Amino acid sequence: MEAAKFSTELESSKQQTNYAADISSIQEARDRIGPYIDKTPVLSSSSLNIIAGRTLFFKCEIFQKGGAFKFRGACNAVFSLPVDLADKGVVTHSSGNHAAALALAAKLRGIPAYIVIPKNAPICKVENVKRYGGQVIWCEPTMQERESVSAKVQEETGAVLIHPFNDGRIISGQGTISLELLEQVAQLDAIVVPISGGGLISGVAVAAKALKPNILIFAAEPKGADDAARSKAAGHIVTLTETKTIADGLRAYLGDLTWPIVRDLVDEIIVVEEGEIVEAMKICYEILKLAVEPSGAIGLAAVLSHQFQDNMRWSHCQNIGIVLSGGNVDLSVLWESFQKAH
Amino acid sequence: MEAAKFSTELESSKQQTNYAADISSIQEARDRIGPYIDKTPVLSSSSLNIIAGRTLFFKCEIFQKGGAFKFRGACNAVFSLPVDLADKGVVTHSSGNHAAALALAAKLRGIPAYIVIPKNAPICKVENVKRYGGQVIWCEPTMQERESVSAKVQEETGAVLIHPFNDGRIISGQGTISLELLEQVAQLDAIVVPISGGGLISGVAVAAKALKPNILIFAAEPKGADDAARSKAAGHIVTLTETKTIADGLRAYLGDLTWPIVRDLVDEIIVVEEGEIVEAMKICYEILKLAVEPSGAIGLAAVLSHQFQDNMRWSHCQNIGIVLSGGNVDLSVLWESFQKAH
C-alpha cells in the first residue's frame, strides 16, 4: 500500500513538472507583462457577503486593458516572440476577448495582428479589435472555417498563430492573476474561475497551488456547454456536438495542454443554469455596480448556486476569490436577458 | 491698494471660518465615520484618458455603502447625535440616495429612520431604503408636501430632521471624500463634482482647498436644472419654477449653508446638456465597466464637454479627479435613455 501510494505521488509530481506552465514561467510572465497590464483591484460588498454567507473577493479583470483577463496571456505571448518572428505579426481566430487582447498587445509591440472572427461575434467585441488596430478577417461561424482561414492567413503573411488558450505562454500570462490576488488577499480558501478552453483556470490553478498548496480551485461552467465537467467525469477530453449558452466566451473545449492541469488541479467543476448566470449579472450590476459579461459573472453564479451553498464539503471555504473575467457586454444583451428572466 | 486687498482677504478669511463646515469638522467626521464607511477606490482608464486628453481619476462613490456618497454625510449626522436625541430616531424627505443612506446609518446605530418619499422616486432607490430597514412614508411629489409630511412625522415621533444637504454635519461627512482622494492622488489639479443642493461640493471644496489651496473645484450641473449656475451669476440663490433632467439626484436648490461655500470656493459651474449626460453614462458602462447613475456621470460629461475642452483657461488642468457620486440606476432607465439618444 505504502509503496503503491509512493509511486502514485512520484507519477503525479512528474506530471506536474510537465505542465505547459509552472510557477517560474508565471513569475517570468509577470515581469514581462508588468509594464503593460493593469494591476486590477479586488472589490467586496458587505450586502453581497450577507447574501452569499461568505466573504467574497472579486478580482476585477473587467478593468484589465481590453476589458478582460485575456490581455495578460496575449501580452505574454506577443512579448515572448523573438524579433524576427514577431516582425511578421500574429494571427488568431477568436470570437471575442482574446482577439481584442492580441490586437492590443501587437499594437504595443508595433507588429501586425490578423484576427479571424466568426460572423456571429458580439458587436462590442469586434469593435474592440478594430479600436486596437487589429485587421479583421471574417469567417463562417464554425471551428473548421476558423481554423482553415487562420491557416491561410499564416501561410500568406508568415504571422505566428497565437492560440487563445492551448499555449504555455497564454496559460502563464493568465496565471499572473493568482500572483496578484494572493498578494491582495492572503487569506483566501478558494478561487472560483470560469472554464472554457481552460487557459485562465490552468494558469490560476498552477500559480495558486504553488503559492498556497491547500487552496481550492473551483471551475464554473454553463450547463449548455459543460464539456469540462464531462471531461473530468470521463477522465479524458470530451467535446460536445453543440453548445447553447448566453456565456459566449465559454463555448470552447479543453486542449491537450490545459486538460492535464484541469484534470489534476481543479478541485470541482460547478455547472450552473442559464438563469443563474443572468441573475449573477444582475447582482453585479445592481449591487456591485459593475458591468460584467455573462462569462465573467458565472463564478458568482456558482458560489450562489444550491449546488455550492448546500454542499457541506465546502462549508469551510469562507474567504472566496472570484475572478470577474470580463466586462465586454453589449447593453442590449444585458437588457434582453434580464427581460427574458423576469 | 495694498490696504484694500488686505481688508478683502480679512473679510474672505472671516467668511471662511463662518462656513457650516471647516477642515477640522471634516477631519472629525472622518474619525467618526471611519469604522462604518468604505474607503472607495480610484479608477483610471488609459483609453478614456486618450479621449479626454487628460488624466482622469474616478473617485468611485458608486461603491460606497448604499451605492452613493450620501452615506458619508448621513453617517456623520446620525453618529453625531447625543444619545437622548438619537433614541427617537431620524426623519428626512428625499427621493433618493440620502434616504437609503440615512436608513442604513440609523440601522447601524440601532435607531428608527422615517423616510418621506415622493411617489415618483426611482424604484431601485426606494428598494434600497426598504432593504436598510427605513420606514417609508409616501407623499405627493412637491417640495411643499415633502416638507409638511416630514414636519408631521417629526411632531408625532420626536425624530430629528436630517436635511439632505443644508446641514453642517452632512457637509462635513461629504468632505471626507477630499481627504481620501488627495491621499490617493496627490497630484490633482482639479476636482469635478455634481452640484444639486450643494452638500457634496461644499464638503469637497472646503477640504480640498484647505489641503491644497491652488486646486480648482468645478461643479457639473444639468442645463434643465441650472439653478446653481444662475445663482453664481446673480450673486444670490436662484430657484427655478421647474426642473427637467434625467439626473434625478440633481433637482434640489442651494441652501443658506451651502450657498456661501459654492459662491466662494467653486471656481466654475459647467452646465451640460441631457445628451452629454447620457453619453457619459454610456462611456462609464462601456469603457469603465461601471454602473453610474445620471447624476453620478455628469462630472465626466462636464470634462468631455466642448465648454471645458475648448476653454484655454483650464488647459493646465491635466490631472482631474471626478467624483462618480452614485450608481443607483434602474437598468430600464439606462437602456431607455441609450435608446432615445441613438
At B33-73, the pLDDT tens digits run: 999 999 999 999 999 999 999 999 999 999 999 999 999 99
The rounded Cα A205 to chain-centroid distance in angstroms is 11
pLDDT of residue B248: 84
Question: Quick one: angle between helices B294-304 and B274-283, nearest 10?
Answer: 100
CB B53 within 8 A of CB B70: no
Low-confidence ranges of chain A (pLDDT < 50): 1-15
Residues in B closer than 8 angstroms to A67, CB to CB, are 289
**Separation CA B328–CA A285 (nearest Å):** 10
Cell numbers describing residue B101: 443612506
Mean local confidence (pLDDT), B238-243: 92
Residues in B closer than 8 angstroms to A47, CB to CB, are 131
Q: Which of B25, B11, B43, B55 shows the shortest CA–CA distance to B318?
A: B55
pLDDT of residue A36: 97
Residues in A closer than 8 angstroms to B285, CB to CB, are 291, 331
SS3 label, residue A37: coil
pLDDT of residue A8: 43
Residues in B closer than 8 angstroms to A289, CB to CB, are 62-63, 67, 290-292, 327
The distance of A38 to chain B (nearest Cα, Å) reads 10
Mutate to test the interface with B, among A130, A289, A324 (most CBs of B within 10 A): A289
Q: Do A41 and B43 touch (CB under 8 A)?
A: yes
Residues in B closer than 8 angstroms to A340, CB to CB, are none
**Separation CA B52–CA B49 (nearest Å):** 5
The helix (H) or strand (E) run that includes residue B299 is helix B294-304
Q: How many CB atoms lie within 10 A of CB B16?
A: 17
How far is residue B22 from each of residues B15, B16, B25, B166, measured CA to CA in Å? Answer: 11, 8, 5, 15
The distance of B65 to chain A (nearest Cα, Å) reads 8
Give tens-digit pLDDT for B314-331: 999 999 999 999 998 878
Q: Do B291 and A290 touch (CB under 8 A)?
A: yes
Q: What is the 3-state secondary structure (H, E, C) of A233-302?
A: HHCCCCCCCCCCCCCHHHCCCCCCCCHHHHHHHCCEEEEECHHHHHHHHHHHHHHHCECCCHHHHHHHHH
Residues in B closer than 8 angstroms to A63, CB to CB, are 43, 45, 288-289
The helix (H) or strand (E) run that includes residue A143 is helix A143-157
Q: Which of B30, B56, B34 shows the shortest CA–CA distance to B43?
A: B56
CB A315 within 8 A of CB A216: no
Position B7 confidence tier, pLDDT thresholds 50, 70, 90 = very low
Task: Output phi, psi for B69, to 5 deg.
Answer: -60, -20
Supply the residues of A annotated as catalytic: 70, 95
SS3 label, residue A229: helix
**Separation CA B287–CA A67 (nearest Å):** 8
B246 contacts: CB under 8 Å, gap ≥ 6: B222, B274, B277, B278, B294, B333, B337
The distance of A62 to chain B (nearest Cα, Å) reads 7
3-state helix, strand, coil in chain B (%, to 5): 55, 15, 30
The position carrying cell 436577458 is A337
SS3 label, residue B290: strand
Extract the runs of DSSP E, i.e. beta strands, from A68-143. Answer: 90-93, 113-118, 135-139
The distance of A33 to chain B (nearest Cα, Å) reads 16
Mean local confidence (pLDDT), B180-194: 98
**Separation CA A296–CA A285 (nearest Å):** 12
SS3 label, residue B68: strand
Question: What is the CA angle B293-A131-B279, rounded to 5?
Answer: 25
Residues in B closer than 8 angstroms to A46, CB to CB, are 65
Mean local confidence (pLDDT), B116-126: 85
Identify the DSSP state of A88: T
Position B342 confidence tier, pLDDT thresholds 50, 70, 90 = low
How far is residue A211 from each of residues A178, A323, B192, B323, measured CA to CA in Å? Answer: 9, 17, 43, 38
Chain A residue with minimum CA distance to B287? A67
The distance of B285 to chain A (nearest Cα, Å) reads 6
Give tens-digit pLDDT for B88-99: 999 998 868 899
The helix (H) or strand (E) run that includes residue B192 is strand B190-194
B6 touches chain A (CB under 8 A): no
From the list B291, B292, B331, the residue facing A335 with the nearest CB is: B331
Active-site entry in B80, B94, B95, B150: B95
**Separation CA A203–CA A170 (nearest Å):** 8
Chain B residue with minimum CA distance to A327? B289
Identify the DSSP state of B257: T
Domains and CATH numbers, chain B: 19-68+167-341 (3.40.50.1100), 70-161 (3.40.50.1100)
Instruction: For residue A299, give the amino acid letter.
Output: G
Chain A residue with minimum CA distance to B337? A331
Position B338 confidence tier, pLDDT thresholds 50, 70, 90 = confident
Residues in B closer than 8 angstroms to A39, CB to CB, are none
The helix (H) or strand (E) run that includes residue A171 is helix A168-184
Instruction: For residue B11, give the amino acid letter.
Output: E
CA-derived radius of gyration, chain B: 19
Q: Do A41 and B46 touch (CB under 8 A)?
A: no
From the list B131, B290, B332, the residue facing A290 with the nearest CB is: B290
Kind of pairing, strands A135-139 and B190-194? Answer: unpaired
How far is residue A17 from each of residues A14, A20, A25, measured CA to CA in Å? Answer: 5, 9, 12
Q: Which of A137, A199, A118 shows the shortest CA–CA distance to A163?
A: A199
A124 touches chain B (CB under 8 A): yes
B193 touches chain A (CB under 8 A): no
Q: Reply yes or no on whether B289 is catalytic.
A: no
Q: Which residues of B78-111 are buried (b: 16+ CB within 10 A; e: fewer)?
A: bbbbeeeebeebbbbbbbbbbbbbbbbbbbbbeb
Q: How many residue contacts between A and B have a Cβ separation below 8 Å? A: 51
On average, the pLDDT of chain B sits at: 92
The distance of A64 to chain B (nearest Cα, Å) reads 9
Q: How many CB atoms lie within 10 A of CB B180?
A: 18
Chain A residue with minimum CA distance to B332? A335
The distance of A285 to chain B (nearest Cα, Å) reads 6
CB B76 within 8 A of CB B170: yes
**Separation CA B12–CA B26 (nearest Å):** 20
pLDDT of residue A17: 59
Question: Quick one: angle between helices A123-131 and A97-109, nearest 10?
Answer: 0
**Separation CA B59–CA B175 (nearest Å):** 13
B224 touches chain A (CB under 8 A): no
A289 touches chain B (CB under 8 A): yes
The region of weakest confidence among A301-305, B159-163, B243-247, B298-302 is: B243-247
Q: Do A289 and B290 touch (CB under 8 A)?
A: yes
Cell numbers describing residue B113: 429612520
B42 touches chain A (CB under 8 A): no
Chain B residue with minimum CA distance to A68? B289
Please determine, for residue B13, whether its predicted confidence score (pLDDT) is greater than 90: no
A286 touches chain B (CB under 8 A): yes
Q: Which residues of A286-314 are buried (b: 16+ CB within 10 A; e: fewer)?
A: bebbbbbbbbbbbbbbbbbbeebeeeeeb
A333 touches chain B (CB under 8 A): no
Chain B residue with minimum CA distance to A290? B290
